[in-house]
Amino acid sequence: MTDDATELPRPAPKRRSALRRWLYPAAVVVAIAAVIWWLEAGGDGGGVSNTGERYGPVALPAAMVPLGANVSAEEGALAPDFLLQGLDGEETRLSDFRGQPVVLNFWATWCGPCRKEMPQFVAAYDAHRDEGLVVIGLNLQESESIIRPFTEDFGIDFPVLIDRDGEVGDDYRLLGLPATYFIGRDGVIESAFIGPFEAEERGTNVQGAIEQSELEERIAAILGGGEGDGGG
């Protein structure tokens, strides 16, 4: 017999071809899923503002920092500044609100305690906005498509900013969510509270006045109606 007569069929190329036909679509599906996950997780990271600045922590304007003042996320220090884009597309700096009392609340939609306490912030903003109170909801690393339904469900009408890459959270040394900073008109952190504010049944004190909740007490302090106790 000749070599040609004894040569057997070779099915391997067909198997490889079939394998390739299966692998290519699978790879495309995986790639699409990865892109969707990336977008839902916050897209392209911090991003760049209209002025060319990168979103995230920024230096406080020199005119806002008295000589020898400390800028950090500690009580008694000037609150670190940041530039972030809001859910409405507007760009906001924390320092834009110098001269107004600010409640800065870090949260995420997946955080159960954040969801539980959110109605208190909505109510507090509605009650004190005419007194100049600013409430900022600072979302950590989620996309607009995830955040927007949350804000609609809770009726949030205060500014919601997005910390896409988590750098602002890092600058504030977050150890968990939720976390809230109470900032005076001078930009100084009057108090910080780590964890959720519990909805409280309010009674009356010995003078017959309605007792304030923990959140209301801290807001009163930065509005000028009381003294904060610091701590969290």
Q: What CATH class is the domain 56-223? A: alpha beta
Which pTM was predicted? 0.76
What does the alpha-carbon distance between residue 147 and residue 86 come to, in Å, rounded to a whole number? 11
70 within 8 A of 188, measured Cβ to Cβ: no
Q: Using CA atoms in the order 173, 135, 203, 224, what is the torsion angle rounded to 10 degrees?
A: 90
User: In the structure, what pLDDT confidence band is assigned to residue 19 with cuts at 50, 70 and 90?
Assistant: low
**How far is the C-alpha of 134 from the C-alpha of 126, rounded, in Å?**
10
Spatial separation of the C-alpha atoms in residues 83 and 136, rounded to whole Å: 13
- Cβ neighbors of 83 (< 8 A, separation 6 or more) are 49, 53, 55, 56, 58, 91, 92, 93
Q: What are the structural domain ranges in the chain?
A: 10-40, 56-223
pLDDT in tens, 117-145: 999 999 999 999 999 999 999 999 999 99
- Distance, in Å, from the CA atom of 231 to the CA atom of 122, rounded to the nearest integer, reads 23
